Structure 1
């Protein structure tokens, strides 16, 4: 009879190993899923709206600043006509300082520019009209125009001062007309540098004396043409 092999009764590795089941694993703390909501674009829209509002506010502020500056401090004016020739000509651009008049309004006083200053004034009879002229006579002075010469009489020069002698007024055509008048309180007497007959509407004739309230400002510099930039 053939030998019958003995049955191997040694437990297999598989028999000694516990089943791998969840219930047999060590207990672990499992974090629940963290819910991260998808960013809502409302905040982004709000930021954009704030940005646009800020830009609009800056633009409006800048515009108001420019308008205020233009209204009360410094304003460009364009020359139209030859009444101030040869000093100024058509299409010249001037920067006019309005601050002295603004300050006079704030302090309840009168702005009277210096003699020989180039000023922009309103026509007292037609306020929409603007003129650029040169100041010749100041309040209380006597102005005499005779034989082409303008003479100013005041306390400092009781015998009269020829106002055609300063550099700004030399080499100008002799003035036309005959005038003998006193400048009223709070007024100035202005003429154009083009003093030929019909060359300028000014205080010698129809424009008359200019009240302080109608002085817009003093021209401080010519900025165009750029080849002729010049302080006035």
Structure 2
């Protein structure tokens, strides 16, 4: 009887180990091929994305490049399995061209061949101003970017994509040269126009290969500089209205 009990115990242990291994492999496949979680570390995409938002990024939206894989191995160049093209207005995670180990998240403004320019705080694409209407005010709960009653403007792109942006007044990014987006590259800007390092500045044009995926949904959100590890602060600092909010 004891030998049979030991055998059953060992079989049960092995079955549990196999289940754990399978679960880990499934999680790795999902993270590598389908969706990857990201944390928003700065206020450059306010008010669309806030510091403390945790989002899922759709990695198969635009196909795959080496940056879709862990450690970015040089297995191939360019993109493969391109199911769809990036669309103007998409919120996208990409690798910084000058430091490809760093992830950035911004809004896609300029497609290959586009002419992009800021004139007196108004975004112009291919010579046409993007409609910009006042849409209230925004106050941040992030200590390093404590904006209070920052003017919000609703912008509507030619393809119908509409979103809010912040504009605190005239800054160095409100009047720029005309940028002509090269073939195979994209032009990105943050929705927090006066507090975003983007294609207007050192980021420059982003190669198609550097795109990681499209921001899909906010699955968790903590305000007031609350760390994910500070579980005891979750009840009072959880942004309940942002959980499972689709990113647009």
TM-score (structure 2 length as normaliser): 0.67
Larger Rg: 1
Q: Deviations over 1:91-118 (max 9, x none)?
A: 11111111224457543x4964211111
Structure 1 vs Structure 2 CA RMSD: 2.3
The CA distance in 2 between the partners of 1:94 and 1:130, in whole Å, is 13
Instruction: Work out whether residues 47 and 192 of structure 2, in 8 Å CA contact, stay in contact via their aligned partners in 1.
Output: yes
Change (3 A) 1:76 1:163: farther
Between the aligned partners of 1:83 and 1:65, the Cα distance in structure 2 is 33
Q: 2: distance between equivalents of 1:120 and 1:88?
A: 12
Superposition pairs of residues 140-155 of structure 1, within 5 angstroms: 140-153=113-126
The residue number in structure 2 matching 1:187 is 185
Structure-2 residue corresponding to 1:156: none
How far does the alpha carbon of each residue in 1:156-177 deviate from its partner, in whole angstroms, 9 at most, with x for none? xxx5352653173445316524
Find the counterpart in structure 1 of residue 26 from structure 2.
65
Change over 3 Å in CA distance of 1:68–1:171 after alignment to 2: closer
Q: How many pairs were matched up? A: 185
More strand by proportion, 1 or 2? Answer: 2
Q: 2:205 aligns with which of 184, 205, 209?
A: 209
SS in 1 for 2:162: helix
2:107 is aligned to 134
User: For 1:168 and 1:147, how far apart are their aligned partners in 2?
Assistant: 20
Q: Deviations over 1:116-140 (max 9, x none)?
A: 1111111111122111100101112
Structure 1 distance, partners of 2:37, 2:183, is 29
Deviation at 1:202, TM superposition (A): 0.4
Gaps of at least 5 residues in structure 2 are 66-78, 133-154, 222-238
In structure 1, the partner of 2:128 is 160
Secondary structure of the residue aligned to 2:178 is strand
Cα pair 2:37 2:54 within 8 Å, conserved: yes
Stretches of structure 1 lacking an aligned partner (at least 5 in a row): 1-38, 154-158
Shift of 1:42: 2.5
